[in-house]
């Protein structure tokens, strides 16, 4: 079975998302910033946003623990767009080429529901996906197998082996592999180009 459909993760594959970009402005001291991102506003804490919890509801319990960081904690949602710097180098050109070849393009992203309208406004490229599964909209997050099954439904129920899934997270790739997807662990557009050619998509 060969891949017929390309399914993209967004953050760090299509969009250049780095929370440290914002917090380098708010916490100039590198050690303090690293401690804040590894111990306070952690990826585990942020995953609650991806699962559908609002910024407004997720912030107060953390602020209660770390009241002296209230402004920085609230900035996670309030200054969300400052975590981004456009697109990942090279990925938009690959999307252009896939689209020119008629490859169906979809996206599957762990993302807060309330930020999705901002993504559509600031990043026109994402409008070119036929459908984007936004985790916060459905209350499921990668690597839960259920979100991959949901994505297959949105793709028109192809066999998993017809879908080429691209993600920067090893956990997500492992989960997709177990379900029979064809996969690529993203590290650079150059590596993705090679993989797309090997799949016959480019």
- C-alpha distances in Å from residue 57, one per residue of 22, 72, 109, 126, 146: 21, 15, 21, 27, 25
> Do 96 and 177 share a domain, yes or no?
yes
> Do 189 and 159 share a domain, yes or no?
yes
Closest CA to 53 of 184, 141, 159: 141
> Do 92 and 157 share a domain, yes or no?
yes
How many alpha carbons fall within 13 Å on the CB side of residue 18?
A: 12
Domain boundary (53, 83, 113) is at: 83
> Do 51 and 99 share a domain, yes or no?
no
> Do 91 and 57 share a domain, yes or no?
no
How many alpha carbons fall within 13 Å on the CB side of residue 171?
A: 6
- C-alpha distances in Å from residue 145, one per residue of 5, 68, 136, 149, 150: 19, 38, 15, 6, 9
Closest CA to 22 of 78, 91, 88: 78
> Do 55 and 91 share a domain, yes or no?
no
Residue-level pLDDT at 105: 98
Residue-level pLDDT at 134: 98
Residue-level pLDDT at 54: 97
Domain tally, the chain: 2
Q: Rounded distance, CA 112 to CA 109, Å? A: 9
pLDDT tens column, 65-96: 999 999 999 999 999 999 999 999 999 999 99
Residue 172: enclosing H or E segment and its boundaries? helix 170-178
Q: What is the value of pTM for the model shown?
A: 0.96
Domain boundary (60, 83, 106) is at: 83
Residue-level pLDDT at 1: 76
Closest CA to 59 of 109, 11, 114, 110: 114
Residue-level pLDDT at 198: 96
> Do 71 and 39 share a domain, yes or no?
yes
User: Domain range holding 50?
Assistant: 18-83
> Do 94 and 173 share a domain, yes or no?
yes
> Do 105 and 79 share a domain, yes or no?
no
> Do 130 and 156 share a domain, yes or no?
yes
88 secondary structure, DSSP code: P
Q: Which of the residues in the chain have pLDDT under 70?
A: none
> Do 78 and 114 share a domain, yes or no?
no
> Do 50 and 74 share a domain, yes or no?
yes
Contact 185, 148 (CB under 8 A): no
Residue-level pLDDT at 83: 98
């Amino acid at each position: 079975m060969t891949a017929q459909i390309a399914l993209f993760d967004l953050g760090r594959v299509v969009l250049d998302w780095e929370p440290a970009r914002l917090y380098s402005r708010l916490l100039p001291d590198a050690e303090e910033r690293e401690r804040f991102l590894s111990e306070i506003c952690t990826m585990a804490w942020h995953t609650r946003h991806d699962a559908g919890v609002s910024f407004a509801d997720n912030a107060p319990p953390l602020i209660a623990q770390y009241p002296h960081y209230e402004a920085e904690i609230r900035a996670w949602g309030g200054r969300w767009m400052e975590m981004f710097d456009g697109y990942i180098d090279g990925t938009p050109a690959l999307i252009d080429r896939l689209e020119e070849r008629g490859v169906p393009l979809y996206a599957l992203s762990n993302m807060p529901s309330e930020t999705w309208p901002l993504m559509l406004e600031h990043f026109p490229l994402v409008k070119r996906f036929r459908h984007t599964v936004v985790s916060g909209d459905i209350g499921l997050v990668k690597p839960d197998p259920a979100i991959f099954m949901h994505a297959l439904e949105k793709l028109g129920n192809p066999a998993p082996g017809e879908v080429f899934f691209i993600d920067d997270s090893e956990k997500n790739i492992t989960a997709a592999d177990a379900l029979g997807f064809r996969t690529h662990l993203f590290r650079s557009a150059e590596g993705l180009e090679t993989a797309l050619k090997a799949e016959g998509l480019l």
